[in-house]
């Protein structure tokens, strides 16, 4: 009876750990596919401005990371700085400003670049340029700013931890589009734009899969040792000692 219970528990544990390991591999494969599609879109010709404004919440997902070229006018009074953002291993801010596209008049939030921290006054930003009048931008399409963990959940003021596009649109009263742009190009305005590709955590899934498969091997090894190999070894020792 004991052998049956131990066998059932071992088989159940083995099946569970192997299935979890396979699930992690499937998640890694899915994210690799997503990453590959994003790279392919990044190599496509720039999306035309009229095609950009025609995107909706569904179709924009098929254009993420694709390049586009737009013209418009900044709305600097609604500029927001996202705190605790890194670039080139340094702490600072991501600067975001709404842009009114021309000639459509659509409003889209633009992640313009990175600004170093002002270490003499934490709640003040170092100066950067916001050109008045029409500007032309090279940019890539994104869903929204990456989120960081925050303690109080508040997202108000010119300096904040996170920004939700829909909430920011309600806060400002601006009819912002459901996607944003990430500005590319040199830092002539004082903002650095050494963007890195978004991390999908693919390596983490492979690490979890390794842990689950290792646990499966451990379960199988312990079962074989304690239920079969060790008893057989004891029988052989008894036989070699001349014991019945």
- Residues 164, 56 within the same domain: yes
Domain that holds residue 99: 47-183
CA end-to-end span of the chain, whole Å?
A: 25
Length, in residues, of the chain:
244
State mean pLDDT over 93-99: 96
pLDDT for position 242: 55
Q: Same domain, yes or no, for 51 and 19?
A: no
**Residue in 104, 81, 103, 79 with CA at minimum distance from that of residue 91:** 81
pLDDT tens track for 108-123: 999 999 999 887 777 7
- The alpha helices in 43-88, defined as continuous H runs, are 49-53
How does pLDDT run across 141-182, given as a tens digit for each residue? 999 888 887 655 556 788 999 999 999 999 999 999 999 999
Backbone angles phi, psi at 153, to 5 degrees: 80, 0
User: Can you say whether residue 185 is alpha, beta or left, with left for phi > 0 and alpha for psi between -120 and 50 degrees?
Assistant: left
The pTM is what?
A: 0.73
**Residue of 105 and 2 predicted with greater confidence:** 105
pLDDT at res. 67: 94
Kindly state whether residues 106 and 129 are assigned to the same domain. Answer: yes
The number of folded domains in the chain is 2
Q: Answer yes or no: do 83 and 144 share one domain.
A: yes
The residue to which tokens 């528990």 are assigned: 9
Burial class (CB in 10 A: 0-12, 13-18, 19+), 200: middle
């Amino acid at each position: 009876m004991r052998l049956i219970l131990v066998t059932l528990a071992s088989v159940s544990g083995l099946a569970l750990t192997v299935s979890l390991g396979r699930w992690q591999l499937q998640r890694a494969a899915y994210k690799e596919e997503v990453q590959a599609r994003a790279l392919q879109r990044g190599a496509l010709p720039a999306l035309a401005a009229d095609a950009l404004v025609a995107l909706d919440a569904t179709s924009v997902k098929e254009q993420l990371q694709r390049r586009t070229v737009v013209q418009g006018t900044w709305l600097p009074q609604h500029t927001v700085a996202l705190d605790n953002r890194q670039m080139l291993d340094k702490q600072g801010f991501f600067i975001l400003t709404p842009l009114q596209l021309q000639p459509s008049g659509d409003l889209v939030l633009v992640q313009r670049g990175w600004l170093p921290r002002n270490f003499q006054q934490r709640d003040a930003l170092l100066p950067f340029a916001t050109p008045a009048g029409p500007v032309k931008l090279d940019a890539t399409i994104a869903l929204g700013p990456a989120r960081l963990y925050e303690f109080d959940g508040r997202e108000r003021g010119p300096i904040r931890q996170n920004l939700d596009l829909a909430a920011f649109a309600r806060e400002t009263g601006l009819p912002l589009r459901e996607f944003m742009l990430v500005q590319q190009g040199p830092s002539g305005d004082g903002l650095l734009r050494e963007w890195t590709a978004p991390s999908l955590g693919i390596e983490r899934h492979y690490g979890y899969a390794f842990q689950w498969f290792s646990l499966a091997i451990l379960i199988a090894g312990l079962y074989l040792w304690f239920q079969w190999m060790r008893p057989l070894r004891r029988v052989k020792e008894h036989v070699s000692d001349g014991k019945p």
